[in-house]
Structure 1
Amino acid sequence: MNWIYFFDLCGTAVFALSGALAAGKHRMDPFGVIVLAAVTAVGGGTIRDAIIGATPVFWITDPNYIAVILATVVACLIFIRKPYKLSNKSLPIADAFGLALFTVIGAEKALSLELSGMAAVVVGLITGVGGGIIRDVLCRQVPMVLRTEVYATASIVGGISYTISLQAGMGSMTALSLAMLSTLIIRLSAIHWHLSLPAFDLKTKK
């Protein structure tokens, strides 16, 4: 079984759920839910493939990604009728799992194209945060990655963990699990304890 591909589809479903929940919080119609779920799920990977020249992008050549997004949206519309009644942490937690999965997927794709370890970390970061940025912009919010929340940092640590683990001779599954776990621990800890980085507060004289 191709575990990388399996986790990629899992990440697509998780980020699609994240987008659908965000659409529900903003009271969008079913078409809006589909659009927001789709751009959240494949946005980061699309930007990644465009940057590294892996064209046509992955979801164009593999319809399974679109099928997963549609199935996730339908399930969300049926079983989660009123997303605004969910906990305020539901969206960040779903997003954290998507971040962990896509960070590793992005880094793995960069390494498979024989890019450097540093490039793999950056590509992993783009894959992990790209869809969320598009989602937040469409919802007219400041993207999580640009706030003081510990978000991009978790992705960077996960990407570094994955590349170093592979370079140290660990198996791909071990490296993948370690990287996802490190990303999740940092991001979920930040959500639970409201951890954040210092804000750049440039005050001007009146």
Structure 2
Amino acid sequence: MTWEVLSIIGTIAFAISGAIIAMEEEYDILGVYILGIVTAFGGGAIRNLLIGVPVSALWEQGMLFQIALLSITAVFLFPNNLLKHWRKWGNFFDAIGLSAFAIQGALYASEMNHPISAIIVAAVLTGSGGGMIRDLLAGRKPLVLRSEIYAVWAVLCGAAIGLGIVNSALELYSLFVITTALRVLSYLYKWRLPNRSLRAHV
């Protein structure tokens, strides 16, 4: 049950996130649907490739595809004057998608009895893979590659599940809320990882 709920939450959040960014870039309706679908399912496809699950497993998620399409349609039909305010929520939906899919990806790898390194990689790829593809298709620098803290939260999810710190449904939902909150705080307060610039300072 926890697995299904996280999948639905992540799918809706990332589909909306992709659709909002597509409209910000003034893509047509086909571009909005493509970016929404790619954002919602891209991370899972990359994860499946790396942990040995056939990519065709994605096509068995008929209900999630329908949920994603409905979410994208709802955003596309949303009144324009209200959508301007919703654009501010793009990062929030992205944070929800990151948390839900990072936990879902870690659980997926854990159930296949993979080592903790694979569980962490599965969490990062599932949580941020779709967003990376979305940003690249939108001509933006991927969030996960900026100094802004993003993928670190997915790493923490993977570690918590891989080490057996989090097991029960209540603990998983608590991890989801905490991870979402940390991601929101990191972009609100501009928490950053150390970085070095090779550009010459004038």
Compute the TM-score of the two structures, normalised by the length of structure 1.
0.90
> What is the aligned length?
202
Deviation at 1:58, TM superposition (A): 3.4
Cα separation, 1, equivalents of 2:201 and 2:28: 45
Task: Show structure 2 runs of 5+ residues with no match.
Answer: none
Contact 1:43 1:130 in 2 (8 A): yes
Aligned residue in 2 for 1:159: 158
User: Deviation of residue 66 (structure 1)?
Assistant: 1.3
Given that 1:132 and 1:143 are in contact with CA atoms closer than 8 Å, whether structure 2 keeps it comes out as yes
Q: Which stretch has the larger CA shift, 177-186 or 140-149?
A: 177-186
1:1-206 matches, within 5 Å, as 2-81=1-80, 85-86=84-85, 89-164=88-163, 167-168=164-165, 171-203=167-199
CA distance change for structure 1 residues 72 and 83 in 2, over 3 Å: closer, same or farther?
same
Residues 117, 83 of structure 1: alpha-carbon distance in 2 compared, 3 angstrom cutoff: farther
How much has 1:161 moved relative to structure 2? Answer: 2.2
- Give the share of equivalent positions with the same residue, in percent: 30
Change (3 A) 1:195 1:69: same
Hey, what's the Cα distance between the residues in 2 that align with 1:162 and 1:80? 41
Query: 5+ unaligned residues in a row in structure 1: which ranges?
Result: none
CA contact (8 A) 1:59 1:66 kept: no
Counterpart Cα distance in 2 of 1:161 and 1:83: 38
Amino acid in structure 2 at the alignment position of 1:146: L
Q: TM-score, normalised by structure 2?
A: 0.91
Q: RMSD value over aligned CA atoms?
A: 2.0
Structure 1 residue 171: Cα displacement: 3.9
1:24–1:83 contact (8 Å) kept in structure 2: no
